[in-house]
Amino acid sequence: MNINFEAFVEWDNSPFILFNNSGKIIYLNNAAEILFGYVSKQELYDIALSYAPQNFGYRTTSLTLTYDSFLFYAITVGYENENEISIRLYNTPRIKPTRKLETDKFITTDINILLEANIALFKTKNSNPLKLLTDQDLPAFKMDQNNFSKLLRKTLNAFRASDSIDISLKLLIGQHVIIENKKEPIVQLAIKANGRYSDTDGEIELVAAQSQIKSLLKERSITLEIPLIQ
Amino acid sequence: MESFFTTSDKIQHIIKSFNLTKTLFVSSIIIGDPHTGKKSLARYLFPHAPLVSGLNQDAVKKALEESDELIITDFEKLSNQNNFDFSNKRIIATANYVGNSSVIDDLFAFIYTMPTLLERPDDVQYLKKRFIKEALSTLMIDAQNIEEKNIPLNLSMNSKSLKKSIYLHLTKHSMDNADIENVIYQHIFKYLDGNDGYREYLGLYEKPLIKAGLKKYGSQLQLSKILGINRNTLRKKIHEYNID
């Protein structure tokens, strides 16, 4: 039997990288390519060296690694000669939403309109300067308009006393999320400022989860990864 | 279509936000003091939407079943707020106060706060002009006798007290002797009883007479001459009515 396994590695959802002995990348799969948007080559090479088995072979170590929205629960590091070393990172399974998305009830919506309306609402209460960088060409997509508006209101409200608020809305090229067995592109809404309130973080996470939106809440920013369902 | 006048930045933002979401199925609520124009604003933005009052629980329930677009006024009066399902409906509610904030937060995507008239001086001037025009026509008063700037504006209850203060002022200033006599007649007819009526109700005439006279002529001496009564009598009356 002679099967070429390379395609399997290429399309594996977990990142796989092969380094040479000076830390240069010889091969990386699709998932790893995306990961490198958030972590440096050197950092992963150092991890590979630190967790490499003492002799030729493979070793799997359980550990928690977090790079932005990427979460890993284990790595396997292996080498069969002195020239190459490989590392594979295992994705932490995403918690399955308990509430099924009723996508048939969703309404196709221009996200820019909802965002602008929420900014207008925000401005009735706050006079903080606000910068908006958006992609007007984003296609309209399906969403629960009310729930999503609520999420936007709560998210913006976390920045009610912040200065220099930066809002950006864009399509995440090359990244997808699986919703009801369908691969959907991701739209990213990122809001950054010099600081923010975190009193309603729990609510934001809850409302986001109801629409299968991934929320990343950090000290000075909130990022929402919204599935672009068409 | 009825227009809605405002120069308030806050309300302009509310209007902008509503205009953007007009065609979407989102629920919004405008919260603010009574008589700040919440209902007029909702009507102006959604001229064709059916309107029900929260005072009538059953009507709200029925309207929700029948239409996808609905204005609900007096939302704070509804008792079973958390049983409502507004999904995929366009709800515009107005309320005088928040009530249960977590229910409001859960039900509504857009929560707007209507500023009071005190925060909207330009709007007050606009409303004042409108109410004066309306009052002059209703009361059939000649506009030339009215000095607009002398009208005291009461904003304690927003447009309600503003309107009332204008109507009262214009009514008072357009009365002739016969009207005044008539007002006093009605008042005395309603309340006169007891055993000291003469002295009691004489004050209704004497007190304003002396107060106005003092303000107009400055000194008691001067006023006693004008009134044609003894200075001591005047002083006694001033004391009796506690006039400063």
CATH code of A128's domain: 3.30.565.10
Indicate if the pLDDT at residue B1 is higher than 80: no
Rounded Cα distance between B34 and B31, Å, is 9
Longest dimension (CA), chain A: 69
**A101 contacts A179 by C-beta, under 8 angstroms:** yes
Same domain, A75 and A110: no
CATH code assigned at A39: 3.30.450.20
Alpha helix ranges (H) inside A1-110 = 6-10, 30-35, 41-50
Domains in chain B: how many in total? 3
Rounded Cα distance between A58 and A65, Å, is 19
Q: Which residue of A has its CA nearest to B15?
A: A120
Q: Which residues of A touch B109 (CB under 8 A)?
A: 145-150, 153
DSSP B115: P
Nearest 5 degrees, angle CA B159-CA B165-CA B170?
Answer: 125
Q: Judge: A107–B17 Cβ closer than 8 Å, yes or no.
A: no
**Long-range contact set of residues A76-82: C-beta below 8 Å, sequence gap at least 24:** A77/A47, A77/A48, A77/A51, A77/A52, A77/A53, A78/A52, A78/A53, A79/A52, A79/A53, A80/A56, A81/A56, A82/A21
Residue B184, pLDDT score: 92
Same domain, B132 and B110: no
Q: Which residue of B has its CA nearest to A106?
A: B88
**Per-residue pLDDT tens over the stretch A130-146:** 999 998 889 999 999 99
Confidence of residue A67 (pLDDT cuts 50, 70, 90): confident
Confidence of residue B36 (pLDDT cuts 50, 70, 90): very high
Residue A29 parent element (H or E): none
Residue A163, pLDDT score: 86
A206 in contact with chain B, both atoms CB, cutoff 8 A: no
Taking all residues of chain A, what is their mean pLDDT, rounded to a whole number?
Answer: 89
Same domain, B63 and B47: yes
Indicate if the pLDDT at residue A97 is higher than 60: no
Query: Is residue B188, in this structure, part of any structural domain at all?
Result: yes
- Best mutation target among A105, A125, A150 (most B Cβ atoms within 10 Å) is A150
Same domain, B98 and B158: no
A149 in contact with chain B, both atoms CB, cutoff 8 A: yes
Q: Judge: A146–B27 Cβ closer than 8 Å, yes or no.
A: yes
Q: Which of the listed residues B173, B196, B216 is the one where a domain comes to its end?
A: B173
Q: Judge: A117–B17 Cβ closer than 8 Å, yes or no.
A: yes
Q: Which of B20, B88, B111 sits opposite A116 (nearest CB)?
A: B20
Q: Judge: A149–B109 Cβ closer than 8 Å, yes or no.
A: yes
Same domain, B20 and B107: yes
Q: Which residues of B105-115 are buried (b: 16+ CB within 10 A; e: fewer)?
A: eebbbbbbbbb
Same domain, B22 and B47: yes
- Best mutation target among A145, A154, A203, A211 (most B Cβ atoms within 10 Å) is A145
C-alpha neighbours within 13 Å on the C-beta side of residue A59: 14
% residues pLDDT > 90 (chain B): 64
Confidence of residue A2 (pLDDT cuts 50, 70, 90): confident
Domain limits for position B72: 9-115
Same domain, A131 and A215: yes
Chain-centroid distance, C-alpha A36 = 12
Amino acid at B177: N
Domain limits for position A203: 103-227
Chain-centroid distance, C-alpha B175 = 22
Same domain, A117 and A85: no
Same domain, A78 and A130: no
pTM for the complete prediction?
A: 0.72
Q: Which of B29, B35, B50 is nearest to B95 (CA)?
A: B29
Q: Judge: B17–A124 Cβ closer than 8 Å, yes or no.
A: yes
Same domain, B45 and B95: yes
Indicate if the pLDDT at residue B243 is higher than 90: no
Same domain, A66 and A145: no
Rounded Cα distance between B63 and B56, Å, is 11
What separation in angstroms does the CA of A94 have from each of A91, A179, A209? 8, 12, 12
Nearest-CA distance from A69 to chain B in Å? 27
Query: Is residue A84, in this structure, part of any structural domain at all?
Result: yes
Nearest-CA distance from A126 to chain B in Å? 10
A110 φ, ψ to 5°?
Answer: -85, 110
Domains in chain A: how many in total? 2
Same domain, B53 and B105: yes
Residue A94 parent element (H or E): none
